[in-house]
Amino acid sequence: MADPSFDVVSKVDRQEIDNALNQTSKELAQRFDFRGANANAEWAGENGVTIQADTEERTLAAIEVFKEKLIKRGISLKSLEVGEPALSGKTYRVSATIAQGITSEQAKKIAKTIRDEGPKGVQAQIQGDQLRVSAKKKDHLQEVISLLKREDFGVALQFTNYR
Within this chain, do residues 89 and 65 fall inside the same structural domain, yes or no? yes
Within this chain, do residues 32 and 88 fall inside the same structural domain, yes or no? yes
Domains held by the chain: number: 2
Among the three residues 72, 98, 124, which one is the final residue of a domain in this structure? 98
pLDDT digits (tens, 9 = 90+) for 89-146: 899 999 999 988 898 999 999 999 999 998 999 999 999 889 999 999 999 999 999 9
pLDDT digits (tens, 9 = 90+) for 51-61: 999 999 999 99
DSSP letters, the chain, are -PPPEEEEE----HHHHHHHHHHHHHHHHH-GGGTTS--EEEE-SSSEEEEEESSHHHHHHHHHHHHHHHHHTT--GGGEEE---EEETTEEEEEEEE--S--HHHHHHHHHHHHHHSPTT-EEEEETTEEEEE-SSHHHHHHHHHHHHHS--SS--EEE---
Give me the pLDDT at residue 7, please.
93
Q: What's the domain range around 127?
A: 5-10+102-160
Among the three residues 98, 121, 137, which one is the final residue of a domain in this structure? 98
Q: Residue 146 is part of a domain; what is its CATH number?
A: 3.30.70.860
> The whole model's pTM is what?
0.85
Q: Residue 22 is part of a domain; what is its CATH number?
A: 3.30.70.990
Give me the pLDDT at residue 1, please.
57
Task: Name the pLDDT band for 47 (thresholds 50, 70, 90).
Answer: confident
